[in-house]
Chain A
């Protein structure tokens, strides 16, 4: 990296934050140019975790890519699986049994819950609330991971979904455990909110900080809670109604100001909506098979063509674009990484802010470098 010489009085100072920095949520660097404490330029630099995920997937069979998708956004392997299998199902025209659709919704909403809980904890950690909020969040997240472990065998790298359904059925006991957990989640959310809602430091630091205007958010392809915090009503669960999301009643929280506070509140409110979806899914889940027995998992050879499938992952629009040349492995396998595209406007949000606030602005984007760098 080329750093400019140390500035004299009245000159600009260049600071390299990262690649290893306690506030950067992974191996990520920001080249920041400062006028006093004000940011006048900021360039994100990444690629430190790049392993050419797309090339690896193009070399293997369609089935072989599923465990690699776990490692994209390694906090949300269930939704990564779903995005990929949805694209393959579109490409090959595969139907999914009803029970599998319900299980997918349950694990996806649990994933959203634990991701948002973790993010809120990290964000508060960035603001200086060391330890307590993060540990509260991690305590709940741990319960979700325990459920994933008993279902799929792994806490974080679940490798659970398959095109045409899911890998194994869940037991009645497992569903009871989920019901039990979902029953106590509202209490956790109340507690969590009471802890922080009226906290003056939180409000002073986040309100009006890192504002993302609505038009810029749309034009820059920002998705997920970030976009909705800027007041755009766009949730792929509502727009595409993929899976069986049209059967559930849930709201889409929207922000007004597009600042860090709104982005923080989006996560809190979305967790409540996830609980609503979970309650309905757990009430209605039917019996039946969880995978279509006629689906060729190992020797899948879709017809020549292409398909783009996308889902609302906790971080935004997670999409997979596949081109088939009729062979057993995808000719082109492309991930639409929501984290990386949400970083496009990092500089726009940070210009004119204090250097200390870039830390919480970055925290409110919710990035995972496994997905940014692929």
Chain B
């Protein structure tokens, strides 16, 4: 097993090998310490090919493709500010007050790729791709042309999460049936009330 370069070193290699690619290292706080690299859409295919063909990395084996849903979140933060407040004698005074402010953080869908090398016997290198949002901007570049093993797994992420992989040769539903409309693995999916014991009628 040859030692794998650190995520920062891989980032440097990518930025030198694929001009214009932006790579962000995303730290992983768990004891597994499997950090990941966030790629931009435009260069993702080129970066994937670079990682597969690089003599030292040779990540020829894309083991796992995972869809992840990160819904829109609302964060409430207490903010200290100054305000003019009327004092007991009627004169307005500047006072420090605490306010709760809500900020909406838009969500996104994510595709996570775990790469290993069969020749060098090292890994994993974790790649991430994020969509613009969860509603109308759910497109990501497909990496199936680089690794065939992504073919069924990207179809699964399309089926269960609604991530549209541009450049996939055969993007259809794979586990759910063709006429199904929703994306059941999303966090806000509501299962239909079709339990015959509850409804009492044939669904």
Determine if chain A interacts with chain B. yes
* Stretch binding the partner chain, chosen from B98-106, B130-138, B171-179: B171-179
Which residues of A have CB within 8 Å of B34? 306-308
CB within 8 Å for A344 and B152 given contacts A90-B32, A321-B64: yes
Q: Is B22 an interface residue (CB 8 A)?
A: no
Is A34 an interface residue, CB under 8 A from the partner?
no
A52 at the interface (CB under 8 A from B): yes
Chain B neighbourhood of A124, CB < 8 A: none
Q: Which residue of B lies closest to A90 (CB)?
A: B32
B175–A221 touching, CB < 8 Å: no
- Chain B positions within 8 Å of A321 at CB level: 64, 66, 112, 114
Q: How far is the CB of B93 from chain A (nearest CB, A)?
A: 42
Within 8 Å of chain B (Cβ to Cβ): is A374? yes
Q: Does A139 contact B (CB under 8 A)?
A: no
Indicate whether B153 reaches chain A with its CB closer than 8 angstroms.
yes
Chain A residues numbered 59-112 whose CB sits less than 8 Å from any CB in chain B: 90-93
Q: Does B62 have its Cβ within 8 Å of any Cβ on chain A?
A: yes
B32: chain A residues within 8 A (beta carbon): 90-91, 93, 305-309
Q: How far is the CB of A236 from chain B (nearest CB, A)?
A: 10
A310: which B residues are within 8 A, CB to CB?
63
Beta-carbon contact of B175 and A317 below 8 Å? no
Asked if B118 and A304 sit within 8 Å, CB to CB, the answer is no
Q: Does A224 contact B (CB under 8 A)?
A: no
B29 and A305 contacting across the interface, CB-CB below 8 Å? yes
Among the interface residues B66, B114, B124, which one has the most CB atoms of the partner chain A within 10 A? Answer: B66
Asked whether A305 and B30 contact (CB < 8 A) given A47-B176, A219-B147, A220-B148, the answer is yes
Contact B63 A303 (CB under 8 A): no
Number of A residues contacting the other chain (C-beta, 8 Å)? 43
The interface-forming segment of A16-24, A147-155, A254-262, A335-343 is A335-343
Measured in the bound complex, the distance between the Cα atoms of B77 and A363 in whole Å is 58
Q: For residue A221, which residue of chain B has the nearest CB? A: B149
In the assembled complex, B199 has its CB within 8 A of some CB on chain A: no
Q: Which of B111-170 contact A (CB under 8 A)?
A: 112, 114, 118, 121, 124, 126, 147-153, 160
Determine the chain A residues whose CB is within 8 A of the CB of B185 once the complex forms: 52, 54-55
Q: Are B60 and A218 neighbours in the complex by a CB distance under 8 Å?
A: yes
Taken together as a complex, chains A and B put the C-alpha atoms of A90 and B28 apart, in Å, by 12
| Assembly CA distance A116 to B192 (angstroms) | 41
Asked if B30 contacts A302 (CB within 8 A), the reply is yes
Instruction: Give residues of chain A (287-342) contacting chain B, Cβ–Cβ below 8 Å.
Output: 302-310, 317, 319, 321, 323-324, 332, 334, 336, 340-341
Interface contacts (Cβ under 8 Å), in number, total 109
A241 CB to nearest chain B CB (Å): 9
Does B184 sit within 8 A of A, measured CB to CB? Answer: yes
Identify whether the interface residues of B are mostly helix, strand, loop, or mixed: loop
- A43 CB → nearest B CB, Å: 8
- Report B-chain residues with C-beta under 8 Å of the C-beta of A50: 175-176
Question: What is the CA–CA distance of A92 and B147 in the complex, to the nearest angstrom?
Answer: 31
| Contact partners of B114 in chain A: CB under 8 A | 308, 319, 321, 336
Residues of B within 8 A of A234 (CB): 61, 118, 121
Which of chain A's residues have a CB closer than 8 A to the CB of B29? 303-305
Chain A residues contacting B176 (CB-CB under 8 Å) are 47, 50
Determine the chain B residues whose CB is within 8 A of the CB of A219 once the complex forms: 60, 147-149
In the complex, are the beta carbons of A306 and B30 less than 8 A apart? yes
Contact assessment for A306 and B28 in the assembled complex, using a CB-CB cutoff below 8 Å: yes
In the complex, the answer to whether B60 meets A52 with C-beta atoms within 8 Å is: no
Contact B175 A239 (CB under 8 A): no
B186 to chain A minimum Cβ distance, whole angstroms, is 10
Measured in the bound complex, the distance between the Cα atoms of B62 and A317 in whole Å is 12
Q: Which residue of A lies closest to B124 (CB)?
A: A308
For residue B9, give the distance in angstroms from its CB to the closest CB of chain A. 20
Residue A232 lies at the interface, judged by CB distance under 8 Å to chain B: yes
In whole angstroms, what is the CA distance A319 to B113 when docked? 13
Chain B neighbourhood of A332, CB < 8 A: 66, 68
**Which of B66, B121, B151 makes the CB contact (< 8 A) with A239?**
B121
CB of B3 within 8 Å of the partner chain:
no
10 closest residue pairs by CB, A with B: A221-B149, A305-B30, A93-B31, A307-B32, A220-B148, A47-B175, A305-B29, A90-B32, A50-B175, A334-B66
Q: List 26 A-B contacts (CB under 8 A).
A: A47-B174, A47-B177, A52-B184, A55-B184, A90-B32, A91-B31, A92-B30, A92-B31, A216-B148, A219-B147, A220-B148, A220-B151, A221-B62, A221-B150, A222-B149, A234-B121, A303-B31, A304-B30, A305-B29, A307-B28, A307-B31, A308-B124, A323-B68, A332-B68, A334-B64, A374-B175
Given A91-B31, A91-B32, A373-B175, 7 more contacts at CB 8 Å?
Answer: A221-B147, A232-B118, A304-B29, A307-B32, A308-B32, A317-B63, A319-B63
Q: Enumerate chain B interface residues (CB-CB to A < 8 A).
A: 1, 28-32, 34, 60-64, 66, 68, 112, 114, 118, 121, 124, 126, 147-153, 160, 173-177, 184-185
